[in-house]
Each structure stands twice: as structure tokens, then as C-alpha cells.
A and B are shown apart, each in its own frame.
Chain A
């Protein structure tokens, strides 16, 4: 059982890292989701595998006998919820980014860090991305 889980974790991490190193934004998000699943599996496996007895302390005993540790299962639920929220956020962010920047190529996303044009000096900050005095962008966002 543990070998199967280890193999699954290995494959999931590999796929996740491979995808998140991609230039395609959607694949990056998918890769992070995969890597998150692998992390959840590791956490799940931390509580002993292959025990099917319920995690109930029998009458007269003070400790759990031969069962899986329920704590990592509770932890993994927390981690799944957090991971789900982050992946949803990442997907929305990705869609908005593709809509605004008109590209899904990670290498073409140079708005925050423009490529240098001069060998010794960095490019000047794009005036479009400098804050404007007295602007009220609150309205702009409401569109």
C-alpha cells in the first residue's frame, strides 16, 4: 500500500512540477493543483495507511490500538479546502490576465518586469503603470 502511494505521489509531483514549469498559464495552474494534490496525499499517508478499523478507543483502553491516525485526515481536509480556494483564485486571475494582456504565454508577460533594452541600464518604468496623482481608480474598478 505504502509503495503504491509513494509511486502515486512521485508521479503526481513529477507531473505537477513539469506542468508548472510550462510557459502556458493554464498549465501552470493545473501543475500547481497537481502538486497540491501530491502534498495532500503525503499528508494523508502520514497517518498510517491500510488500517480499516474505525478510530475509536475501545472501552477500558486509553489509547487507539490498531487504526489509522485520524489527525492527518483532519489536516488534509483543511489543506484541501485551502488548496481549492487558491486554485479557484488562480484560475480567475489567469482568465483576467489572459483577457487583459492578450496572451497566455508566461514569457510574454513582461508588464511588471520589462525586458532590458540597454546593456547597463534597466528600462524606464512604463508611464502607464505609474500611479497617477489624484486619480480615483475606485470608479475604474467598478466597471
Chain B
């Protein structure tokens, strides 16, 4: 039973991919199957978190080849919690997709590919094998490319090509890194690698980890390798965009954490130092891009990069506190970022545009939407008592504790600039009257599923904000077992 549960992060989404693909001639049936699949995924993910909550690790060795020879899925608290949040995001975005707020092109193969992306993401979180991790990155890439190109609009094809070029480069670099690590250690399993790496010369370890780390940073969208992200994300339809924005870059950030914080812990100091400066540059450049743009989707896409900087900064601080902060920040960020994109799609449905220069008057027309927007927006900035405050508190407390004053100051400055660009959305979309004087919000918008999804995510943000102790304790417990430390 527990063996099946350990395989469920991949089995359930792949099964859903299969049945939704088979049902491609029957749109209604396909949507029902898709929703049933994501609910089942959420259920198994909940069971998974419950099973590992006490500190157990769920393991499945495929084909009964024992480690270090076979491929293992190994779910500890870190992996299980991220699988759960993957399922949660899938649920929220697929429910949202039932509304008519920017559903995009309902192509018969869209839903199977979305579930394919979920399988790739969850597989990357669950696996304990370096080559298998590469395979899940490729699954994610192939399915995501299908979703990008399926719209068929010229800008979407343009975006797909840019996404393909840089991401393919990243995965090939990852492949080279995996090959080099296998040549040096003879292993691919995380546990075996952790034991074997001690016997390597330190300079070689640094080089190998630098190649792998570079590949993961391309995937995470870190400075200066993020060009693919703002070039492509804004061409996706709203709910799909929210799903991608929430999950895909975080897989890269998770891989960096797994690499530096667990498998090869403690990593060479020079890599952590470099990662810290990369993170600082990422958050600053990302937020400056956001301050420049006027399209809601493009503003938020640049904020993904900026927030990835915070996550990487927490990873660079290393140690138990740094790793716990990384995990907590990742949870908070996935929920808040996806929710902002979803609310952006509602704004589009009501005003007819994503460009802030063409819209306005929403506070008059739909004040509840303003409140709904304010919750994730303030949380992203880090205003107490919302989830972002605690996430930033954990990161900055540790940064100050380690005497990293420059990183701390930049992080605080970035918060102020985040405030600036959120204020811009607020002023232009909500307070300013609509540029067309006779504009009224459409009454026939089918928004009930959209509101259910966004209110649900906002409630989670509020809940994390008011009750952070349980989650912080969970993150600390998850971090305590990383890096081969005794549970």
C-alpha cells in the first residue's frame, strides 16, 4: 500500500493524462475526467503528507532493484509537502479553467498536456535519482511546450520557440552534469551520491556541482538566465499561466535545494557565496523589470523572477534555518503567485484587457475583487500578518544572523519596489476610472468557479499568515532531516 502511495505522485497524473487523451472527442467527459483526476491526485497527495508527517520516508524502488542500482522514489517531508502543493495548484487552476475568465483555446489535447506537466513536476519532487530527475524535467518541458504551442497564435508560437531554445539548453546542460557526476562517482541515486561524494577532490566536486547548479538555475529563472520566462509566459491563457507561474520555476529552485542542501551538503562555500549574489541580482533585476511593465501578466512574470531570488537567497544561507526558510518561502510563493495571476484573469474578463493603460474603474464596479486582489498582493510584498511577512522574516532573520548585510538591504529594497508595482496595478486597475466613459463591467461573466478558486487560495494565504507556527515547525522538521542528518 505504502509502495503504491509513493508512486502516486506520478501514477495518478499520468493515468489522468491517458484517460483525458482517450476522451478527446468528448469535451464534457474529458473535463469531468480531468477534474476527477486532479481531485484524486489531491487526495493521494494528502495521504502522502499524512503518511510522512511523523518523519517516516516513503520509498519505492522500481522493478524491485534495491538502491543504489534501481530508480527510487523517496518521499520525505520536503518532497511530500511540495507534491501536495502541486496537487493543490492543479486543483485551483483546473477549477478556475471552468469559468470563462481567459480559458484560452479549449483544444482537445490541452487538458492531457496540463496533467502531463503536473506529472513531470510531481515526479521531479518525488524522485531520488539524478538521471530520473533529468527525465522529469524533460517530461515537464515537452508537455509545457505542447501547452504553449497549442494556442497557435503567432505570439504564442514565438514564445514557444524562445521557451524551447533556452530550456532545452538548460536540460542538455543538466544531462552533461549528470553524465559527469556518474563518471566521477559511479552513482546516480541521491543516497549513494551523498556517500560517494566525500571521496572526490574538493575542486572536482565544486566543478560538478557548478555545472548541475547552472542547469537548475536556468530552469529556476535566475539572473542572468531568466530571459525565457518574461519572453513566453504572458502568452498563455490565464489559469494555465497561473499553474506554470506557480510551479515550473519552483522545481528548479527545489532541485538547487536538494542538490546543495541535501545530497551534497555541506556544499563548497564558494558555491553558496556565488548563489547568494546570484539570488540578490535575481531579485533586484526581476523587480526592476516588473516596475517597467504595464501589462499585468508581464508585471507578475517579472515578479516570479524577483521572488525566485528570495528562495535562492534562503538556499544560499544554507544550514537548517536557511533550508527551512526556503521551503516555507516556496509554499507561500506558489500559492500567492498563482492567485495573483488568477485574479489578473478575472480582471481581464471584467475589463477586457490585461494592459493597465486600457482598464480601470474596478473598485467602483467590483469592490470585492479589490479586497481579493489585496490579500495576495500585500502578501507578496510582505505586509504582516500575511504569509509573505513570515516567509521574508525567516529569510531575513537568518541573513542578518549570518551578517549578510548587503543581501538583507537589497531584499528590503526589493520589497519596497514590489510595493511600487503592486500599487501601480491597484491605482490603474482599481482606483482610476475606466478610460472608456460608458464602460460597465459585464454581467454575463461566468465567474463562479474562478471566484471559488481564488477565494480558496486567498484563504490559505490568510491561514498561513495567522497560524504560521504549524507550518514553520513542519518546515524546520523537514530541514532537520536534510543533508544526511539523523531524523
Listed residue (A40, A43, A86, A125) with the most chain B CB atoms within 10 angstroms of its CB? A125
| Pick from A32, A94, A100, A121: contact of B169, CB under 8 Å | A32
Distance A20 CA – B141 CA, assembled complex (angstroms): 18
Distance A120 CA – B138 CA, assembled complex (angstroms): 38
Chain B residue numbers with a CB within 8 Å of A138 are 105-108
Please, which residue of chain B has its CB at the minimum distance from the CB of A36? B172
Contact A111/B179 with A20-B169, A133-B442 known, Cβ cut-off 8 Å: no
Q: Which one of B287-295, B331-339, B389-397, B449-457 is at the interface?
A: B287-295
Contact A25/B237 with A82-B138, A111-B154 known, Cβ cut-off 8 Å: no
Chain B residue numbers with a CB within 8 Å of A23 are none
Do the beta carbons of B179 and A93 come within 8 Å of each other?
A: no
Distance A83 CA – B231 CA, assembled complex (angstroms): 23
Residues of A57-96 contacting chain B, CB below 8 A: 69, 71-72, 75, 78-79, 82-83, 85-86, 89-90, 93-94, 96
Do the beta carbons of B354 and A125 come within 8 Å of each other?
A: yes
Distance A43 CA – B294 CA, assembled complex (angstroms): 45
Distance A112 CA – B298 CA, assembled complex (angstroms): 11
Do the beta carbons of B165 and A28 come within 8 Å of each other?
A: yes
Main secondary structure of the interface of B (DSSP, over half): helix
Please, which residue of chain A has its CB at the minimum distance from the CB of B103? A131
Taking the complex as formed, is B427 at the interface, i.e. its CB lies under 8 A from any CB of chain A?
A: no
Chain B residue numbers with a CB within 8 Å of A45 are 179, 183
Do the beta carbons of B172 and A39 come within 8 Å of each other?
A: yes
Do the beta carbons of A93 and B180 come within 8 Å of each other?
A: no
Please, which residue of chain B has its CB at the minimum distance from the CB of A76? B179
B206 to chain A, nearest CB (A): 18
A36 to chain B, nearest CB (A): 5
Distance A39 CA – B160 CA, assembled complex (angstroms): 23
Residues of B143-197 contacting chain A, CB below 8 A: 145, 149-162, 164-165, 168-169, 172-173, 175-176, 178-180, 182-183, 186, 188
Number of A-B contacts (CB under 8 A): 150
A13 to chain B, nearest CB (A): 9
B244 to chain A, nearest CB (A): 15
Contact A85/B142 with A42-B180, A79-B175, A125-B295 known, Cβ cut-off 8 Å: yes
Do the beta carbons of A39 and B175 come within 8 Å of each other?
A: yes
Do the beta carbons of A113 and B107 come within 8 Å of each other?
A: no
A138 to chain B, nearest CB (A): 5
Do the beta carbons of B135 and A93 come within 8 Å of each other?
A: no
B102 to chain A, nearest CB (A): 5
B305 to chain A, nearest CB (A): 15
Taking the complex as formed, is B355 at the interface, i.e. its CB lies under 8 A from any CB of chain A?
A: yes
A62 to chain B, nearest CB (A): 13
Taking the complex as formed, is B232 at the interface, i.e. its CB lies under 8 A from any CB of chain A?
A: yes
Contact A101/B157 with A42-B176, A134-B100 known, Cβ cut-off 8 Å: yes
Do the beta carbons of B158 and A109 come within 8 Å of each other?
A: yes
Taking the complex as formed, is A55 at the interface, i.e. its CB lies under 8 A from any CB of chain B?
A: no
Chain B, interface residues (CB within 8 Å), range? 35 or more
Chain A residue numbers with a CB within 8 Å of B349 are 133
Main secondary structure of the interface of A (DSSP, over half): helix
Chain B residue numbers with a CB within 8 Å of A110 are 158
Do the beta carbons of A43 and B178 come within 8 Å of each other?
A: yes
Taking the complex as formed, is B230 at the interface, i.e. its CB lies under 8 A from any CB of chain A?
A: yes
Residues of A18-55 contacting chain B, CB below 8 A: 20, 25, 28, 32, 35-36, 38-40, 42-47
Please, which residue of chain A has its CB at the minimum distance from the CB of B139? A82
A131 to chain B, nearest CB (A): 5
Please, which residue of chain B has its CB at the minimum distance from the CB of A121? B294
Do the beta carbons of B107 and A141 come within 8 Å of each other?
A: yes
Distance A69 CA – B183 CA, assembled complex (angstroms): 10
Do the beta carbons of A112 and B232 come within 8 Å of each other?
A: yes
Contact A109/B161 with A86-B168, A130-B353 known, Cβ cut-off 8 Å: yes
Taking the complex as formed, is A6 at the interface, i.e. its CB lies under 8 A from any CB of chain B?
A: no
Taking the complex as formed, is B370 at the interface, i.e. its CB lies under 8 A from any CB of chain A?
A: no
Do the beta carbons of B152 and A122 come within 8 Å of each other?
A: no
Do the beta carbons of A129 and B155 come within 8 Å of each other?
A: yes
| Pick from B155, B164, B353: contact of A112, CB under 8 Å | B155
Distance A79 CA – B178 CA, assembled complex (angstroms): 11
Chain B residue numbers with a CB within 8 Å of A97 are 154, 157-158, 161
Interface string of B210-254 (1 = CB under 8 A from A): 000000000000000000001110110110000000000000000
Chain A residue numbers with a CB within 8 Å of B141 are 86
| Pick from A71, A101, A125: contact of B353, CB under 8 Å | A125
Besides A43-B182, A93-B161, 19 new A-B residue pairs in contact (Cβ under 8 A), listed by A number: A32-B165, A39-B179, A42-B179, A45-B183, A78-B131, A86-B168, A89-B142, A90-B164, A93-B145, A93-B157, A93-B160, A109-B161, A124-B357, A130-B354, A131-B237, A131-B348, A138-B108, A141-B107, A141-B152
A-B pairs with beta carbons under 8 Å apart, 20 shown: A25-B161, A42-B175, A42-B179, A43-B179, A69-B186, A71-B182, A75-B178, A93-B157, A101-B154, A111-B155, A112-B234, A122-B294, A122-B298, A124-B294, A124-B357, A125-B355, A130-B353, A130-B354, A137-B151, A138-B108
State the 6 A-B residue pairs at the shortest beta-carbon distance, nearest first: A43-B179, A46-B183, A111-B155, A137-B105, A112-B159, A39-B175
